[in-house]
Structure formats: C-alpha cells, structure tokens
Structure 1
Amino acid sequence: MSVASLASLTNQKLDTARRFIQQSQESQEAWLSVGLESSAVFQLRSAFNGLLKEVSLAYSLSGSLDVAKLLEESDSKQIVVPVLSELADLLTRKDSWYFQLDQAYLAQFECKSSASPLVQSDNLIGRGSDAGASVSYYLAKLVELVLRFREESSEY
C-alpha cells in the first residue's frame, strides 16, 4: 500500500468524523446526537490508527498500532520519530486531548445496564452534553498532528 493511499484513508476517516460531528450538532434528537458522537469517536480512533500506519511506513517500522511498541522499535533502530515521542507524552498526561480521546474510545466498549426503573422528576441532575465540542476538539487536534507529521516527513 502506498503512502498516498494510507494518507487518503486517514483523510477519509477524519472527514467522516467531521461529518458525524456536524450531524450530531444539527440533530434535534438527543439519542441520535449521542450515537453520531460515538461514531465520530470510532472514526477518529480509526484515523489515529491510520496515522500510526503512515508513521510506520515512513520510518520502516513494524506497523503496530501501539504507540509504546512503535516508540520502542524506533529507539532500538536509533531512529527519532517526533510524532511518536509527542504521542507517548500526550498519553501519559490525563489532561491531553489524546488521553481523553483514548478514554472516550474505551468507554464505548463499556456495558451499561439500567438497574433502576426509569425515574421521572424535574429535580434530577443529569449528565449534560457538550454538543460535540469535545469530539470537535479531538478532531481539530488530530488533524493538526496529521498535518504536522506529513509536513515534517515531506522535508526529508
């Protein structure tokens, strides 16, 4: 698979995530917005995996989807890969967009059952929605990282 096609696949995932976010913000139905945001998170994670594949190809690494393994491999080959170092740092910081995106992705796999019957009351405190703002932020930061990586790798 060529670099252009990997980049194209990553771009497609980013665009799909952007469209899901846009639809979730335009939706009048809360249940639909939640589903669209969840879909956007999956697309962002897929785009992130695409970026890792691009990095692997550009630096002749194994193609793992684990940042730590790729960083370890690049260290053993004595190759400096700035994007991997940045991602490893971001993953250790709980306030970083990458850590939060990763947590949002993992939360999609949690099974949540309703143990109590549906309670209807005007004074309940509910979980609010940020109308896709968090997912939009993840998208913006991931796009920024992808573009920076591609610019850096085109200089070599």
Structure 2
Amino acid sequence: MFTISQETPDDWWEVESLYDLCFAPGRDALSSYRLRDDVRPVKGLCLVARDDQGVIAGAIRHWPVRICPEGDDSHCFRALLLGPVAVHPTHQGEGLGGLLIYQTLGGARALGWERVMLVGDAPYYSRFGFSKLADVVMPPPTNPDRVLGLALYPGAWGGVAGQVSKWSPDMALPQA
C-alpha cells in the first residue's frame, strides 16, 4: 500500500537520494537537466509515493519546456517534460511507476496542458501511449530515438516541430 501526495520542499533531499540511487552517476549532466536549471517544476505534477513505513518509494516530476521552430522564438509551443520518475529498487515491478505516470498525466490534462514529452525507452513508455517525436529536437547529446511524446488531446502534437528549449518566464502556464 502506498500513499501518494504532492512533493513538498521537505521531501527534496529524500527524493534526490532516490534519484541518485536509481540513476547513473552524472545524471544531472544530461541535457534534460539543463532544461530544468533555474526553472520550477509544475506545481501539482510532482508527486511522491510513500510506503507503509513512510519512506519515499517513488517520485515523479514534470517541468515546463518550449518547442520553437528554427529561428522563430515568437511562435513556440508549450509542453511538459516528464521526468525524472523513479521507484526504489525494493518496490520495482509493483506498478508504482505506472501509477505515478498515469496520475500525473491525468493531472496535466486537468491543468490544461496539451502535450507531454520525455527522453526514455520507447518499449517501456509506449504502454502509456508515448511514441517517437520525429520533428522535435532535444539539445545534444540526446539520442533522437529516445525523444518521445504523448498528446493529452487528439492532435496536440500536430504541427509541433523544432528545438526544445528552456521555459521562458514570459510564457503563460496553461489555465485549467
């Protein structure tokens, strides 16, 4: 049994320890992390799951990013960057990661977001509806085959192409 709640500032160190445990050293050198520097995660889409002893067994975060056509910063699209999502090794295989993903995808839709993207393994994330984004480019050194997206509304990725870049403070967050 897990208790799922919003991540709070008091959870930060425990969540970061979980990410350190679950991911390779140097995870914060990845291009996804450069998109998160000095940007706040989306309130309401950062969850922790605690086991029956109160220990964080899983965590997920989402960050706003923008996708801009080459040379045109005035017509950027908003998207959520899912990740990281992690489950403590003692709870892997129990469906907790999927539960966190499904719960935040529903929350993203309720908050008015149209599209979600991530960098990850297509065989795992395809079960949630993610597929390769051929026209969306993450900063290097990202493998383009691992850039995946999910439309929260039909056609939400239609016509979206360009470079993923850091969220701009002048872009408004969706209003539910």
Same fold by TM-score, threshold 0.5 exceeded? no
Work out which structure has the larger RCO, using CA pairs closer than 8 Å and 6 or more positions apart in sequence.
Answer: 1
TM-score, normalised to structure 1, is: 0.30
Q: Which of these two proteins has the greater Rg computed from alpha carbons? A: 1
TM-score, normalised to structure 2, is: 0.27
Structure with higher helix content: 1
